[in-house]
Structure 1
Amino acid sequence: MRYMLIVKATKYSEAGVRPSDELIASMSAFNEALASAGKLLAAEGLQPSASGLRISYAENGGLPQVLAGPFEDPRELIAGFTLIDVESEEEAIRWALRMPNPSVSGEGEIELRLLCEEVSLLNSSTGLALETDLRDQLGMLKRR
């Protein structure tokens, strides 16, 4: 079962405040533990939403609207993610609880979400490309 640990943005991450060296070291240790256990598929941080774009589709159809960031509510935004492959929801929760608090201010939030495992999604060309890329990343981490 694949889960995504979604690190919610904060006013600090949206302002581009760099995490402390201590937090970076803690996150590196957490990611290394996941990799050593063969559970880590990917882990990335994201730039603040000021560098992002949002594409919206109208309810009645028509052309999509492209809106440049920054976006309003940091709690609705994502600062980073970790993708894991585990045996159960309980194991995913155990790993999520081991993740260091990602917030500079101490009020971090991590959302845990199960990925869709539908065959039709995995057999699409996009799904196959993503799966291949993730397997390559996992292979690189295992060689470390």
Structure 2
Amino acid sequence: MFSAVETDAVKRSIGASYGEVTAISQTMKNFGGALGLAVFTTIVTSQLSDRLTTSFTALGASPADEAKAVDLVSGASGGGNALGNLPDAVREQFLSAVRGDYAASVQWAFAGMAVSMAVVMLLALLYPAATRASVEASDADTLAAAGSRTTV
């Protein structure tokens, strides 16, 4: 979404300010990507932790085991493969819960991205309409001023 705006800004820049325009556009692109990744990762991790806690409780895990498993799965702990010690049938139930809860958690991030893209699209549709009239008026004033100088 940002590439078209960035390309337009760079094309419209004056030769002397080309470096400034490209630096600002790259900085904003990197900042937006980092901020978006941080926000959506936080949303997914929070949703995943909540859902896993509920699922592990439903599977009969003790609160201590539940907290440890949620930390391992959500990445809060750097521990090893704790599920490997479980019997195959129980491990498959836990892994099934993890898969389902992860998919449901990621839906929140996709919904958030869709909302943010809709807001950006709305801003993009509204912004040029307001500036186009002022640019055309400014261009007309410039042409009128240039025409009056050449006739004198």
TM-score by length of 1: 0.24
Greater strand proportion: 1
TM-score by length of 2: 0.23
